[in-house]
Amino acid sequence: MTKGKLVIQVPDEVIRNKHVKFDSNTFALYTYLKYLQFRNYGSNELELNHNHIKHKLYMSDNRTLKKCLFALHQSGAVMELINKLPTKGNLKLTFDPDAIQTETFTQLPVTVINKIEHIGTTGMRLMFYYESFINRTDDISKQYAFPALETTSLHTGLNKETIVRYNDILKKHKLIKITKHKLEWNGEYDTLDQALITKYNNHYFVNIDKL
């Protein structure tokens, strides 16, 4: 449960790349800018220490940050086209998250940003992705996601090997739990041999209490 915790709401369109194609670093920057905008009393005009942002999101260099800012500019979320980062002083930009239209949001505690040190921006992206399928008003036994690996790859732009690797990292830090459930035969197979193939569907539980 997120009761009593400060949360960040991210559009499902961003989480699932419906209208944009954000990589994990760009997704993390978008999410962090949403938090900073909240801290700035909702003002779209932000003045930022770009070195602090790189440190917070564990970005290795200026090129990575500029690439993310360019992607956000293309989406309309950042108004300015930023070709150079200031050598002195702060980075000034206009952040408009409403430029990416959405009908639904997914929220996680803001402390998820502090976990990037251990799970990377990809791990954070996957946490939001799995959470986007969970209805927290459901019975607790039903509060899990079950997207197929292929679907997760399609929605996030991550290859299957990367998803599996970061799932293991998230499990190691007890931020998600994964259980396997056998899929039942529904009579749609053409032959008995096909019916005997055992198939599993992972259930993903997001451990909000660990954030």
List Cβ neighbours of 167 (8 Å cut-off, separation of 6 or more).
126, 176, 178
The reported pLDDT for the residue numbered 198 is 55
The whole-model pTM stands at: 0.90
Q: What percent of the chain has pLDDT over 90?
A: 84
b/e per residue, 2-36, with b = 16+ CB within 10 A? eeeeebbebbbbbbbbeebebbbbbbbbbbbbbbe
Per-residue pLDDT tens for 26-56?
A: 999 999 999 999 999 999 999 999 999 999 9
The reported pLDDT for the residue numbered 19 is 87
